[in-house]
């Protein structure tokens, strides 16, 4: 499990508007990579290109090459649905399916896709996914209750459980803690630490302390001005980015002089 992500000259467009330009990056398997940068610099946009969620927006498209191990996911003929099965995603706001119980939320990837599971297999899968998301102890007695009855932090961990239940290779996280309190944030950060033993994790965050705490490598995105495309300015070991960045813009950003 877990794959290497390799982007070569990736340009991301919303219709005519070039949102992110010329991203070249190589993300190792079983690492946590954080994307930081000011608002509107394209870090979330780039994240969404890694599982082809970007093109869900009408008029949006991507040029360039983005490889999972050796497969270019933007080659013509690639089914985005298969890519999304390999690359899971956790969103900024917890979004469990409101019509489903906790159990059905975890099994959603299987059940909705029409795959049949025996009851014992399903039980095992639910427990494994919920344990993997560190939420099993809290919900094991109320698996048939609606997922929307949980607290925000629990909902977010339920969403992570739902993502790892379909056994992806890569997990993308789009500011997973921005709607959560510090205790829930800590729980998610601990979870990210554990997830990297099995998955390639890419996380977008506005919280630089969080990036420093959880990630092995950090990418800094910046934008020259409104209406200009975002660029990946610097990508290096997290320690180097925060202590001794080689680019002036990165230094200004991480030291709090702007942004």
Show the site string, 46-65: x = touches another protein by CB under 8 A, - = not: -----x-x--x-xx------
Least Å distance between CB 84 and another protein?
4
- Which window, 144-152, 178-186, 219-227, 229-237, contacts another protein (CB under 8 A)? 144-152
Q: C-beta of 14: minimal distance to another protein in Å?
A: 14
Burial of 22 (0-12, 13-18, 19+ CB in 10 A): middle
Q: Is 76 in the site for another protein (CB under 8 A)?
A: no
Binding mask 175-194 for another protein (x = CB under 8 A): --------------------
Which of 99, 243, 246, 255 is the binder for another protein (CB under 8 A)?
99
Nearer to another protein, 46 or 220 (CB): 46
Cα–Cα distances in Å, from 249 out to 208, 210, 257? 15, 20, 9
Q: Between 151 and 207, name the residue whose CB sits nearer to another protein.
A: 151
Decide the pairing of beta strands 87-90 and 170-174. Answer: parallel
Q: Per rule CB under 8 A, is residue 248 in the interface with another protein?
A: no
What residues line the site for another protein (CB under 8 A)? 51, 53, 56, 58-59, 81-82, 84-86, 88-89, 91, 93, 95, 97-99, 108-109, 111-114, 145-146, 148-151, 159, 162-163, 166
């Amino acid at each position: 499990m877990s794959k290497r992500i390799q982007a070569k000259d990736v340009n991301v467009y919303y219709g005519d508007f070039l949102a992110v330009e010329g991203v070249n990056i190589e993300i190792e398997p079983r690492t946590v990579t954080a994307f930081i940068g000011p608002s509107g610099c394209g870090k979330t946009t780039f994240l969404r290109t890694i599982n082809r969620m970007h093109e869900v927006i009408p008029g949006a498209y991507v040029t360039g090459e983005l490889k999972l191990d050796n497969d270019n996911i933007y080659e013509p003929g690639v089914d985005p649905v298969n890519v999304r099965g390999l690359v899971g995603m956790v969103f900024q706001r917890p979004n469990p399916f409101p019509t489903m119980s906790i159990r059905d939320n975890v099994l959603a990837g299987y059940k909705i896709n029409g795959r049949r599971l025996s009851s014992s297999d399903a039980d095992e899968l639910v427990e494994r996914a919920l344990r993997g998301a560190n939420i099993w102890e809290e919900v094991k007695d109320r698996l048939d209750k609606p997922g929307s009855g949980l607290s925000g932090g629990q909902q977010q961990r339920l969403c992570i459980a739902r993502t790892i239940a379909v056994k992806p290779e890569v997990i993308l996280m789009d500011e997973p803690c921005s709607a959560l309190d510090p205790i829930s944030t800590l729980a998610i950060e601990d979870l990210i630490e554990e997830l990297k033993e099995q998955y390639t994790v890419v996380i977008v965050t506005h919280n630089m302390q969080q990036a420093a705490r959880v990630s092995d490598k950090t990418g800094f995105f910046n934008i020259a001005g409104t209406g200009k495309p975002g660029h990946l300015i610097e990508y290096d070991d997290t320690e180097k980015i925060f202590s001794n960045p080689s680019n002036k813009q990165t230094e200004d950003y991480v030291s709090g002089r702007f942004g």
